[in-house]
Structure 1
Amino acid sequence: MDLRVLVLMFLLCLQIRAESRTGSILFLDSPGHQFLRSRSTDVAYETDSMFLSDVAAAVAVLLGFAPPASLSADSSYKLNEVLLPNPFDRPHAVLMLEVKGIEDPQLLVDQLGKGHIGGAFKSKVLLDSSKADIQLQDEDGISVVYLDEPLGFDCDVDCTHKELHDLASWLGGSYVSSALGTFNGELSVPLISGSSMKLHMSKNADREFVMSLLSMMHNIRRAMEMHEDSSGSMQSPAELIIGCFTGIKVLQEQYGPDDITQQGLELFMTTLSKIVDSLWTAYKGEIVGVFTFSGDLYQESSSMVNVKFTSQPSFRRMEEVAGSTNSTTTAEVLLVRWSLAWITGIILLISTLLGIHFLLNMPLTRDTLLYSNVKLD
């Protein structure tokens, strides 16, 4: 076989593999405030794909932080296609959710409807083996809530039952507990299609799907409560609500792509649309939704995007840290600072005393009387 044919086949295989490692990214604006460039929600994917690092950089910019210094010119161009150029008008709040088991973001757009979306940007995102980092410079200036964080150890059986009943009521359904234990009840939720989905907590896949929904809802409520508490302060922190939902993928692995999995997909989309509407209202539109859909291509159960805090110390602080290994140098620096502080204080004290002395002992001349604001006839 000709060498050129082999090279051509090799390049074709690489292209097919690269295309199979693509997911989808969806940016959503609220109807009340625009932070993204205006785009129609009915158009197909954009021509240029984005990398996960581009998505992470976009999230950092939306939160009000500077993008990483390693951002390439091509990535900056892609961010400019997504975000409005005004650096003083950022939401400082982002909901970032990675959904495994779903490939088409249009499902969420259709579920929300045009009246609930101010703007949307869709694109392909290239998935590789490495994860991307949302690099944030100030750990004290941001609040991070993880959606996939399970219920705390302080939530006992009664607390779990209450959370399940609240979830069922919020979705318009019901939860029937069992005397056999916490995870033996049945959750029944009506769907928009007219059918009803029944999830049995005694089944592993059903229980994992329900607990994923429960954790997501619990942490969404916690994020909104934290936002309400900090909204009255002079300087509110940026807020990142981030997580990974694997419930659909669990149903696919257990039941396949049909029936129960499709009902679970419909239930999840209904839940997610209600969450987005609640966040639009709680944040008064000043929050952007970022959703990644990886289908079943990304096999790891953990999130593809991490949060990484990087410090930016001042120049003087960097010099002190660099010279901290030399105790003699540190002592000399402290001695000089204390000496300058004492000398400055003594000079100010002497100047003040001299000024008071000369003011009280001025000779009574025309100039001094004028200086003292005495009225002369």
Structure 2
Amino acid sequence: MLLPEVGATASVLLGFPPPITLSAAGSSKLNEVLISNPFDRPRAVFMLEVSGVDVFVHCINFLVDEEQVSVISLDEPLRDYTEEEINDFASWLGGSYVPDATKPLHGILAIPLENGDDVNLHMSKKVHREFASKLFALSHNIRKAMQMHEDLSQALHRPAELIVGSFDGIKALQEQQDADGFDKLGMRLLLATLPKIFDSLQTAYEGQIVGVFVFNGASQPVSKPLINVMFTSRPSPRWLAETKTPTNTTLAAQVLVRRTLAWITGVVLLIATLLGVYFLLNMPLTRDTLLYSNVKLD
């Protein structure tokens, strides 16, 4: 699939129509990967750009309605973290963390891979520590996104949800001279982390979410992100308003009329209730010949 087709797919998954610029070939590809029922859409998409990988892609553009979609960013940096959070992150990935008794936050973080190997992050090394902090930030922002989803799910009109962000940890490793080939191990660690992240999202969203991972080997300007979300706004509905501001005299007259009608209605209902009770209590106890006798019509 081409990148415009990926953006169109994301728009459809969120519950919006694809852009009119989509070609006929692109539409046929969408029909192959999407369920034909337009009412069966997850309305939640997780899009993550991974920069620094040797795959070049152009920018993904797609339109969303700013009043009907909630865009959750994963790019908020993590200012600080504790050894307890490092230990929780290691346990979440099935690894372990051995703290340094001489200096806090300088232990060894060991994460197992699928082939049985372990990736050891020595938090005393600046390269390893900065890469680990980016993983911590991604995990932390994912948890915030799941918490926001829980809050949005309680709303009367639940909006579509787009979780979007980027991970530049691999790119940062490549730009450092003392990385010593650690970028390849970092990539393996990231590929082991992404399935865990998506499994957590699948559980939180009860399967109603689709993940899109875009690997980008080219450096993008800061002002031009790879995933470009363009908002479209509808004309806001307006309530009918009075063309002339009512004066205090007019408001007083309206209140008087409403109170008068309310009192009159109440008095009429009270009189009707009393009369009904009176006639009910004074009904004769004899049988009604019309109700209790057989009526014969000649």
Structures share fold, TM-score greater than 0.5: yes
Determine the structure 2 residue equivalent to 1:96.
47
Retained in 2: the 8 A contact 1:243–1:303?
no
Retained in 2: the 8 A contact 1:63–1:239?
yes
Retained in 1: the 8 A contact 2:127–2:179?
no
Aligned mate of 2:21, from 66, 69, 72 = 72
Determine the structure 2 residue equivalent to 1:151.
78
Retained in 2: the 8 A contact 1:174–1:188?
yes
State the AA in 2 paired with 1:87: P
Q: Secondary structure at the match of 2:111?
A: strand
Retained in 2: the 8 A contact 1:97–1:291?
yes
Retained in 2: the 8 A contact 1:136–1:307?
no
Retained in 2: the 8 A contact 1:187–1:200?
yes
Distance 1:299 1:238, change over 3 A: closer
Q: RMSD of the TM alignment (CA)?
A: 4.3
Displacement, 1:98?
0.9
State the AA in 2 paired with 1:251: L
Residue 297 (structure 1) aligned with residue 248 (structure 2): no
Retained in 2: the 8 A contact 1:63–1:240?
yes
After superposition, what is the alpha-carbon deviation per residue over 1:73-130, rounded to whole angstroms, capped at 9, x for unaligned? 52772544543332211112111111113357xxxxxxxxxxxxxxxxxxxx9515xx
In structure 2, the gaps of 5 or more residues are 273-282, 290-298
Distance 1:59 1:182, change over 3 A: farther
Retained in 2: the 8 A contact 1:98–1:303?
no
Q: For residues 259 and 351 of structure 1, what CA distance do their matches in structure 2 show?
A: 84
1:103-122 to structure 2, matched below 5 A, reads 103=54
Distance 1:169 1:126, change over 3 A: closer
Determine the structure 2 residue equivalent to 1:135.
64
Retained in 1: the 8 A contact 2:61–2:230?
no
Q: For residues 118 and 57 of structure 2, what CA distance do their matches in structure 1 show?
A: 36
Retained in 2: the 8 A contact 1:190–1:196?
yes
Distance 1:335 1:73, change over 3 A: farther
Distance 1:231 1:256, change over 3 A: same
Determine the structure 1 residue equivalent to 2:196.
274
Aligned length, in residue pairs: 273
1:81-92 to structure 2, matched below 5 A, reads 81-92=32-43
Retained in 1: the 8 A contact 2:127–2:178?
no
Query: Could you state the TM-score of these two structures normalised by the residue count of structure 2?
Result: 0.70
After superposition, what is the alpha-carbon deviation per residue over 1:323-360, rounded to whole angstroms, capped at 9, x for unaligned? xxxxxxxx945459x989x88x9599769959x87xx8
Q: For residues 236 and 272 of structure 1, what CA distance do their matches in structure 2 show?
A: 27
Distance 1:145 1:137, change over 3 A: closer
In structure 1, the gaps of 5 or more residues are 1-45, 105-124, 321-330, 362-373
Q: For residues 332 and 223 of structure 1, what CA distance do their matches in structure 2 show?
A: 45
Determine the structure 2 residue equivalent to 1:50.
3
Displacement, 1:167?
1.2
State the AA in 1 paired with 2:116: G
Q: For residues 167 and 136 of structure 1, what CA distance do their matches in structure 2 show?
A: 35
Q: For residues 197 and 311 of structure 1, what CA distance do their matches in structure 2 show?
A: 47
Distance 1:50 1:172, change over 3 A: closer
Distance 1:177 1:242, change over 3 A: same
Aligned mate of 1:187, from 98, 102, 109 = 109
Retained in 1: the 8 A contact 2:71–2:162?
yes
Identity of aligned residues (%): 43
Retained in 2: the 8 A contact 1:58–1:67?
no
After superposition, what is the alpha-carbon deviation per residue over 1:107-161, rounded to whole angstroms, capped at 9, x for unaligned? xxxxxxxxxxxxxxxxxx9515xx73543231xx544332232225xx5xxx422
1:1-377 to structure 2, matched below 5 A, reads 46=1, 49-51=2-4, 54-64=5-15, 66-67=16-17, 71-74=20-23, 77=27, 79-103=30-54, 127=58, 132=61, 134-138=63-67, 141-151=68-78, 155=80, 159-178=81-100, 184-231=106-153, 234-254=156-176, 259-294=181-216, 296-300=217-221, 303-314=225-236, 316=238, 332-334=243-245
State the AA in 1 paired with 2:201: L
Q: For residues 306 and 127 of structure 1, what CA distance do their matches in structure 2 show?
A: 11
Retained in 1: the 8 A contact 2:51–2:170?
yes
Query: Could you state the TM-score of these two structures normalised by the residue count of structure 1?
Result: 0.57
Retained in 2: the 8 A contact 1:145–1:219?
no
Retained in 1: the 8 A contact 2:42–2:208?
yes
State the AA in 2 paired with 1:127: H
Distance 1:239 1:181, change over 3 A: farther
State the AA in 1 paired with 2:76: E
After superposition, what is the alpha-carbon deviation per residue over 1:201-242, rounded to whole angstroms, capped at 9, x for unaligned? 343432222112111111222222333455455443432221
Q: Secondary structure at the match of 2:106?
A: strand
Distance 1:87 1:350, change over 3 A: same
State the AA in 2 paired with 1:200: H
Q: Computing the radius of gyration over CA atoms, which structure comes out larger, 1 or 2?
A: 2
Q: For residues 261 and 62 of structure 2, what CA distance do their matches in structure 1 show?
A: 57
Distance 1:182 1:97, change over 3 A: farther
